[in-house]
Structure 1
C-alpha cells in the first residue's frame, strides 16, 4: 500500500530541511498566490484537509510526481476506511473534542505528559484494581479541562496527544481491572483525540490495545482485522519500535485465531522492524519495547500454538533477567511457562512453576493474572495423579474452600 499523503509530505519536507512555514512560503512563490499559511500545511500533514488545488504546486516544490501524490491520497482514504469499519466517523465523531481557541497552552500539555508518564510507571508495578480509580479520575479531569479551549492550534495538538496517551493507559488499566466495557469506551476516546491531533502512530497504538483486548475476550476475528487496520493506519513512517509493537499485536491476534503461519510471519516482521531502530525521535510510550519484549511475545505465541520446545527456552531466558518488582508481568510470564511445561509432558516442572505463579498472583487485583491462573490449572488437570500436581491443585481447592467459608 502506498505511503499516505501526510506521511509523504512530512518526509519530503524534512528531506529539504524545511519547516512548515518555509514550505508555505515556497508554495506562495511557486503559485503566485500569497494564500498558503503554516497552519494550512499543518492541516495537510495532520490529515485534516486534502490540498486538491495545491497538488501541482506541491509536486513542483517538493519534487514529487503528481501521480505519486494522488496515490498517497487514495492510500490515506483506504487506511482511514479500514479503521472506520470499527470507529465510524459519524456526526458525533466529527465534532471537535474541544473549542479551537481558549486558555490551555503548552505548559498544560507538558504537565499532562508528566502525569501520564507517572501513571505508566505506576502500571508497571501496580495492578488494575489499585489504579483504575485514579486513572479514570485523571482522564475525566483532563477531558473537562478541554472545555476551556486552547490558545492556538499548536497548543491544541500538544494537549490532545497526551490526552490520547492518557486514554490508552487508562484503558489498559481498566482492562486489567476486568472492566472491558469501560476500557473500550476509553480507548475510543483516545483514538478520537489522537486522530484530531494528527498522530497516526498514537491512534494505531490505542487501536492495537483494543485489538488485543478483543482477541483475548472472544472477538478473535475482529481482533485480527483491527490489529491489521491499526498497523496500516500507522504507515511505514511510524518509528521502528512502534511498527515492531504493532506487528507483535498482529502476531497475537493471528495466534488467537489459530493462524500459525500468519503469526510467524508477523513475528518476523516485528523483528525486522526493531532491527531498524536507531536513535530516531519517538514517543515516550515506546520506552518498554525492546528485544526482550519481542522474545516474550514469541514465547507466548509458541505456547498458545502448542509448541513448547520453542516456548520454554525463550521464557526461561527472559525470566532469568526479568525485574521481579513487576509482579503482574512476572506472574503472567510464569503462567505461560507452566502451560508450556505441561504441553511438553513435564508435569513436575509445570507444577513447580505454577506454584510460584499462583502464589505471586494471589489477591493481586489483576484480571489478567486471574485468567491466566485458571489457564494454568486447566493445563495441570490432566496430570492430577502426579503428586506434585496434586499438591498444587489441593492447595488451590483448600484456599477456595476457606474463602467460601469466610464469606458465610
Structure 2
C-alpha cells in the first residue's frame, strides 16, 4: 500500500503549537504518568508518524498521544491493522502541577476558575463587606500564577471573574460604603485583566479593560488605581511605538498625589520613564529617571500590592539594562541584564524569558553573534513554558534581525531550526 502522509496528526501539531521534539517530550512525560516509565520517544518517531511510515504506533506511544491531544487514534489519522487495539490505560494519579506546559496551563486555569469561588459571589440579594473581601481576593490569587504562566493563561479566567462581579454590581443591592469598595475591587480586577490581555497580545481588549478600570477608580475615588492604570497605558503606548505619548502619560502618573506618596509605584514609574527617555535618545533624562527609581525603591517599606510584586532589585536592574540597550550602550546593557537574570527568583519565569531575550538582543547588537544565538536558544526553551505573546513577539523580532547574520553558521542553524519548529 502506498504511503500516505498523516495530515490529521500534522494539523494537530499546528493547532496545539507543538514541534516534533516537543511532542516527543510530551509523549515521554505522559508515558511516565501512564505506565510509570518514559517511552523513549524521539522526534524521529514523530516524523515517521506524520510521513505515514508508521500507520499505527505501539501502545506505549499511542496511549500518551491520546492523553495529549484528547483524540482517538483514528481521529489522529492512524490506520488500525486487523489486530490493532488500544488497551485500557492503568490507573494513574490526578494531574500534577509539574505536568507538561499546555496541559499544566489548562489545568491551572480550570482549577483557578473553581478555586476563585466565583459561584460564591451572590447574583441577587444584598452584598456586604464579606462579599467585597472575596472579590478583592481574586486579584492576588491570579497574580500568584501570572509571573510563571504569563497573561495568556489567565486572561480568560480574569474576564470570567469580572463578568461575575459585573452581574453582582447590577443585580444586587448594597449600601454606599460597600458600593465604593465594590467599585475599587472591580477596578482592581479590570486593571489586572487588562494587564493579562496586554501580555497575551490582545491590545484592544487591554485598552477597553484599562478604560473600565479608570472609570471604576473614579467612581471609587481610588487615586492609586487610576495611577496604576495610567502606568499600564504608558507601557502599552510604548509597545505600540508611541514613545512620546508614553512619556506624556508617564509624567501625568508621576505627578499624581498617590504616586508621590507611594515609593513602590514611584519607583516603577521612574523606571519605565527611563526606558522611554532612552528610546527617544534623551540620555540625561534617562539617567536621572533611573537614579530617582533607585532612590524611591530605597524608601519603600513593607510588601507591595499583588500587581507590583514583580518589582524587585532584579527588575530595576533589568529595566536599567533596557534603558542602556535603547541608548546603544550594548556592553553595559549586557552586564546589567546578566546581573538581573542572576538575581531573578525562580517564580518569575516570564521575566526570565523577557530578560533572556533582552540579553540575546544586547549580544547581537554588540556583534557577539554566537553568544546571542546561545541566549536565543535558551529563550526558546523557556518560551515553551510561558504564555506571553508580548515576549514571544520580542523573540520573533530578534529572530528576524538575526537573518542579517545568516552567513554565521550558528545563526544559520538557529534560523533553520526555529523555522522548521515554528518557534
TM-score of the two chains, using structure 2 as the length reference: 0.66
Q: Which runs of 5+ in 2 are unaligned?
A: 1-124
Cα deviation, residue 255, structure 1: 3.2
For the structure 1 residues 136 and 189, does the alpha-carbon distance in structure 2 shift closer, same or farther, using more than 3 Å as the test?
A: same
Distance 1:380 1:355 in 2: 12
8 Å contact kept, 2:271–2:290: yes
Does residue 368 (structure 1) correspond to residue 395 (structure 2)? The answer is: no
Over the aligned positions, Cα root-mean-square deviation in angstroms equals 2.2
Match of 1:217 in 2: 240
Which residues in structure 2 correspond to 1:24-173 (within 5 Å)?
103-148=126-171, 151-173=174-196
List aligned pairs for 1:264-343, cutoff 5 A: 264-279=287-302, 283-343=305-365
Q: Which runs of 5+ in 1 are unaligned?
A: 1-101, 404-408
Alignment partner, residue 217 of structure 2: 194
In the alignment of these two chains, the number of paired residues is: 299
Give, in whole Å, the separation in 2 of the partners of 1:114 and 1:388. 48
Equivalent positions of 1:179-190 (< 5 A) are: 179-190=202-213
1:252 aligns with 2:278: no
**1:309 Cα deviation from its structure 2 partner:** 1.6
8 Å CA contact 1:220–1:253 kept in 2: the answer is yes
Deviations, residues 227-263 of structure 1 (Å, cap 9, x unaligned): 1112212456421111111222222333333333322
Given candidates 255, 258, 264, the residue that maps to 1:232 is 255
Matching of residue 241 in structure 1 with residue 286 in structure 2: no
The 3 A distance-change label for structure 1 pair 347 and 107 is same
Question: What's the offset of the Cα at 1:219?
Answer: 2.1
1:394 aligns with 2:413: no
Question: Which residues in structure 2 correspond to 1:12-27 (within 5 Å)?
Answer: none
Residue of structure 2 equivalent to 1:59: none
Distance 1:300 1:126 in 2: 23
1:262 aligns with: 285
Shift of 1:353: 0.4
Q: Deviations over 1:279-335 (max 9, x none)?
A: 4x8644333322221111111111222211211112112212323453322111100
The 1-side partners of 2:259 and 2:377 are apart by: 44
**C-alpha distance in structure 2 between counterparts of 1:227 and 1:145, whole Å:** 34
What is the rounded CA distance, in whole Å, between the counterparts of 1:235 and 1:325 in structure 2?
A: 29
Change beyond 3 A, Cα 1:277–1:305 = same
Match of 2:373 among 326, 345, 351: 351
| 1:156 CA drift (Å) | 2.2
